[in-house]
Each structure stands twice: as structure tokens, then as C-alpha cells.
């Protein structure tokens, strides 16, 4: 039987648990007005799902769209980056014509004089835009300014060409990190689409799908879920998915607030094994560890229960805190986003007072301090190999290596943060293809060598 809930990954446009928010209407209205739009928000709050839903709605009224996830292109050199971008655009815009793009000038020509000639109403859905900031030309220099400037020019010159071309940008990044000159940025001409938590009513619309399960359901369950997640899209789906799993495997015959609390404590707040930590909590924790000193001070005050006003987070401080996923604005104050985050990221003293129940898997006592393994690889051609290594390391957690932690750069990780991660590691694992050369993977490897870390290298052969 197909699962009702989906914890992780974008929801398809037809998924029964997709909850439409005010942001959906705002995005659709912006497009129909011919405006650009951008969705800057933390990971796993529904950005990609919103883009897919928007594409589905526009397709029904005659629009054509191209969706590009820039995290899949970030390791490519500039020429190959544009060539792959052209293939992705052509896949849905001009299936019978795939352009051989090498730069932004050819991109402009293709979109205005080929794609728009065939499809007069086009929206470009550009996701994980932080990946553009990580791309480099053959000299190792970023080219995000010229790319985003080209997108802006489409809008500025929209009266000079026939048809409608709209760009939607989504990511978990400060736009100022992508475009140094605000005067050429597409982010300051488009409509900002805000993605907040689900309201209490929207959360209940989602959690009412629990009634499809073969169990007794107490009405207080809905409020219990909202109490813990405060409508966080991913955490609400994750909690419901775990409740669904418990019913299907016979663990739960009744769903009450007690079962909700048990799942939260045993699945989301269980600290016994770092590698059993929820992926969202792990990501948020890493983002909090990387806060600047000024932002970290505000976060410490929030942890201590102090009132922090929105106006104290001057400049980019609020955006820095917001993009961790742990902080949001509530009227004029900043608050921790939900009760799960409050407990998961409580100060050490508070955590010692109450340790959540484990999942029947005792932590090994042979290692008192975890050692850290940094995994480095490209994300275009080596994803299966990387996942295989991560699975192997994960299996080791049930042995004497329970104190081991593994991590590494991801498409959205800025270069300096990746290098800092190498610096704080004990072992380096590099996974390289025959095309390995310049880029962030090489920088990570050279940093590991310079630090004298033990390096384990996996090299994929040309024949593989």
C-alpha cells in the first residue's frame, strides 16, 4: 500500500498531502502579471514543491516551463555548465532543438529567438540557486554575476521582444552572496514570495489524512502535532509519516497525544547515535554551528528564553538566522521556530536534565569522543558512489564505531564552509571520477593534504 505521507523530497503537484498556502496564490499572481519572483527560505519548507505546483497550474492554462536544479551543475566548468543548462531547458521548451550553449550571450539568444518563438509564454523555474554561486570558469573565477545579470536584462528589456518570459528563483541563500552588485541583481526587481509555517488550520488539513489509517484516532492528536511542529512543513510530514509507520507495523492501534510525544522523543529528539539524527535536525544544527559571532549571540539569547526584537538583527543578521531554519519572525520579535527545535537545540545544561528515550540501540562506550570523516566528491557523476560510501559508514554505527560522525560538502555549501569542515575533520575520503580537476573537490583534497589528514581515495575508472 502506498504511503500517505512523504517526509523529505519535493511533493508532486498531484500529491494528496500538498497543502496550498498564501504563497501559492502570490506566486501564481506574480507570474500572470509578468513579474519575476523569488523564494528565499530555509531547506525543507516547501520551496521545490511550490515550484512544481506552480508549473502544474501554469501548464493547465497554456504556459510552458523549464525546471533546473542548479545543485546538479555546480561542479561543472563554465562551458560544460552552460551546455548542460541548455540541455535542461530544451528538454521541455524545445524538445526538437537542443542548443550548444557556452555562455550567457548564447543563453539569451536561445531563449529570446528560439524558445519564445515556439512557446510564447515561458516560466523558468530555477531551484537551488546557491549552486550558481559555487560554479567556476576555467580560471577558477565565479560567473554568477554575469548569469544573474542576464536574467535581469530579460525583464528590463521585456518590451523589446514578443512573448512573456518569467523567471522564478528559489534557494536557501542570501542573494547578496550570489550577486555582488545590487544594480544587476534580478532579486531586487522580482516579487518576494514568503514561505512560512503552516497555520493551525493548514496543519490540521494535512494531519487529517491520519484518518485514512486503520486505527482509533483521538481528536487531540491534531493539536499535539501542531504543538511540536508549529506547522513546519517537513517536520509535520515526518511526524505523521512515523505515526503512519507505527500503525502499519502494528505498534500503534490508537493515536493519541501520548503516541505523538513518544514518536517525537524517540525519533526526532533521540541523541543516542548521531547518525540516527533526523536529516533536517542535523542540517539545522550545522547551520547554527556556522553562525557569525553576532548572529550566534542573538541565537544564545533566544535559547535562554530572552526576548530578541526583529530590529536587533540589523543588516543581514536576520536573514542569516532565518536561513538556519531555526528562527523566524513573529510580529516584532524573533522566535525559535518550533518546540522540536527548542528541545533539540537547547543549551547543554538543559539537555542533561531530560534525555529523550532511545530507539533500543545503546550507544557504544568504547569511544568517548566522536571522530569526524569528511566525504568529498562531485555531485553530478558520483552520487551513487558517494551514497554507497555513506551507507557503509552508516552500517558501522552499530559496531564499535558508534562515536563516528561523517559529513561533507553539499551543493548548497559555500566553499569556505567546506574547507572549514575539512579543517575540523580527522579523516578525509575523496571520491573522484576520471574528469576530476579544478573545483571545490580539488580544494577540499588539497586542504586535507595540507592539514596532514589520513586520505582515502576512491577513483572511478574511465571504463566504469
Do 97 and 183 have their domain in common? yes
As for how many domains the chain has, the answer is 4
* Averaged pLDDT for residues 384-393: 74
Do 315 and 335 have their domain in common? yes
Is 359 contained in some domain? no
Do 327 and 439 have their domain in common? no
Tell me the per-residue pLDDT of 146-199, one tens digit each, with 9 for 90 and over. Answer: 999 999 999 999 999 999 999 999 999 999 999 989 899 999 999 999 999 999
Q: Are 296 and 273 in contact (CB under 8 A)?
A: no
Is 212 contained in some domain? yes
The share of the chain scoring above pLDDT 70, in percent, equals: 86
Do 210 and 236 have their domain in common? yes
Do 348 and 383 have their domain in common? no
Confidence of residue 367 (pLDDT cuts 50, 70, 90): very low
Is 387 contained in some domain? yes
SS3 assignment, position 146: helix
| Cell numbers linked to 358 | 532511545
Of 192, 212, 230, which one is at a domain's C-terminal end?
192
Tell me the per-residue pLDDT of 112-140, one tens digit each, with 9 for 90 and over. Answer: 999 999 999 999 999 999 999 989 998 88
Distance CA 424, CA 236 (A): 33
Q: Which of 301-310, 353-362, 371-380 has the least mean pLDDT?
A: 353-362
Residues 6+ apart with CB under 8 A from 386: 375, 377, 379, 408, 431
pTM summary value? 0.76
Of 268, 297, 319, which one is at a domain's C-terminal end?
268
CATH number of domain containing 419:
3.40.50.10140
Confidence of residue 450 (pLDDT cuts 50, 70, 90): confident
Tell me the per-residue pLDDT of 208-267, one tens digit each, with 9 for 90 and over. Answer: 999 999 999 999 999 999 999 999 999 999 999 999 999 999 999 999 999 999 999 988
Tell me the per-residue pLDDT of 253-294, one tens digit each, with 9 for 90 and over. Answer: 999 999 999 999 988 997 555 567 788 998 999 999 999 999
Distance CA 440, CA 1 (A): 43
Whether pLDDT at 324 is above 80 = yes
What mean pLDDT value characterizes the chain?
87
Instruction: Give me the domain span that covers residue 286.
Output: 279-353
Q: Are 323 and 287 in contact (CB under 8 A)?
A: yes
Tell me the per-residue pLDDT of 66-109, one tens digit each, with 9 for 90 and over. Answer: 999 999 998 889 999 999 999 999 999 999 999 999 999 999 99
Q: How many CB atoms lie within 10 A of CB 302?
A: 19
Kind plus residue range of the DSSP H or E element containing 67: strand 64-69
Distance CA 22, CA 153 (A): 29
Is 464 contained in some domain? no
Do 207 and 129 have their domain in common? no
| Cell numbers linked to 43 | 531547506
Tell me the per-residue pLDDT of 44-73, one tens digit each, with 9 for 90 and over. Answer: 999 999 999 999 999 999 999 999 999 999
CATH number of domain containing 170:
3.40.50.300
SS3 assignment, position 197: coil
Do 167 and 311 have their domain in common? no
Report the chain's terminal Cα–Cα distance, integer Å: 37
Do 452 and 327 have their domain in common? no
Amino acid at each position: 500500500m502506498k504511503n500517505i505521507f512523504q517526509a523529505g523530497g519535493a511533493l508532486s503537484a498531484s500529491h494528496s498531502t500538498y497543502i496550498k498556502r498564501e504563497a501559492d496564490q502570490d506566486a501564481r499572481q506574480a507570474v500572470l502579471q509578468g513579474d519575476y519572483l523569488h523564494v528565499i527560505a530555509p531547506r525543507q519548507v516547501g520551496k521545490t514543491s511550490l515550484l512544481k505546483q506552480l508549473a502544474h497550474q501554469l501548464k493547465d492554462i497554456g504556459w510552458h516551463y523549464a525546471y533546473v536544479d542548479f545543485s546538479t551543475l555546480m561542479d561543472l566548468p563554465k562551458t560544460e555548465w552552460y551546455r548542460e543548462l541548455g540541455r535542461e531547458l530544451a528538454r521541455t521548451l524545445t524538445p526538437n532543438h537542443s542548443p550548444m550553449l557556452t555562455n550567457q550571450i548564447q543563453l539569451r539568444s536561445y531563449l529570446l529567438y528560439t524558445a519564445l518563438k515556439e512557446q510564447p509564454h515561458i516560466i523558468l523555474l530555477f531551484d537551488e540557486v546557491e549552486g550558481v554561486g559555487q560554479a567556476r570558469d576555467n580560471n577558477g573565477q565565479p560567473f554568477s554575476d554575469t548569469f544573474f545579470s542576464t536574467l535581469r536584462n530579460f525583464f528590463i528589456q521585456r518590451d523589446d521582444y514578443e512573448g512573456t518570459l518569467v523567471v522564478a528563483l528559489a534557494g536557501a541563500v542570501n542573494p547578496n552572496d550570489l550577486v555582488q552588485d545590487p544594480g544587476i541583481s534580478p532579486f531586487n526587481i522580482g516579487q518576494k514570495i514568503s514561505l512560512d509555517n503552516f497555520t493551525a488550520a493548514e496543519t490540521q488539513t494535512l494531519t487529517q489524512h491520519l484518518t485514512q489509517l486503520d486505527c482509533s484516532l483521538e481528536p487531540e492528536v491534531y493539536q499535539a502535532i501542531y504543538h511540536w511542529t508549529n506547522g513546519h512543513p517537513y517536520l509535520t510530514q515526518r511526524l505523521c509519516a512515523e505515526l503512519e509507520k507505527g500503525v502499519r507495523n502494528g505498534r500503534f492501534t490508537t493515536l493519541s497525544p501520548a503516541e505523538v510525544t513518544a514518536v517525537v522523543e524517540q525519533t526526532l529528539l533521540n541523541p543516542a547515535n548521531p547518525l540516527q539524527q533526523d536529516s533536517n535536525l542535523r542540517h539545522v544544527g550545522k547551520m547554527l554551528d556556522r553562525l557569525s559571532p553576532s548572529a550566534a549571540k542573538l541565537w544564545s539569547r533566544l535559547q535562554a528564553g530572552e526576548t530578541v526584537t526583529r530590529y536587533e538583527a540589523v543588516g543581514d543578521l536576520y536573514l542569516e538566522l532565518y536561513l538556519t531554519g531555526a528562527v523566524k519572525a513573529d510580529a516584532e520579535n524573533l522566535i525559535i521556530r518550533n518546540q522540536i527545535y527548542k528541545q533539540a537545540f537547547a543549551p547543554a545544561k538543559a539537555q542533561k536534565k531530560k534525555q529523550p528515550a532511545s530507539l533500543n540501540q545503546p550507544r557504544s562506550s568504547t569511544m568517548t569522543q566522536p571522530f569526524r570523516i569528511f566525504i568529498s566528491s562531485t555531485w553530478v557523476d558520483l552520487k551513487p558512489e558517494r551514497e554507497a560510501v555513506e551507507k557503509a559508514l552508516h552500517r558501522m554505527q552499530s559496531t564499535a564505531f558508534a562515536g563516528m560522525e561523517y559529513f561533507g560538502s553539499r551543493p548548497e555549501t559555500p566553499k569556505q564552509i567546506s574547507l572549514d569542515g575539512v579543517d575540523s575533520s580527522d579523516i578525509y575520503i575523496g571520491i573522484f571520477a576520471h574528469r576530476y580537476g579544478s573545483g571545490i573537490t580539488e580544494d577540499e583534497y588539497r586542504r586535507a593534504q595540507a592539514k596532514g589528514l589520513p586520505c582515502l581515495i576512491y577513483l572511478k575508472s574511465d571504463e566504469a
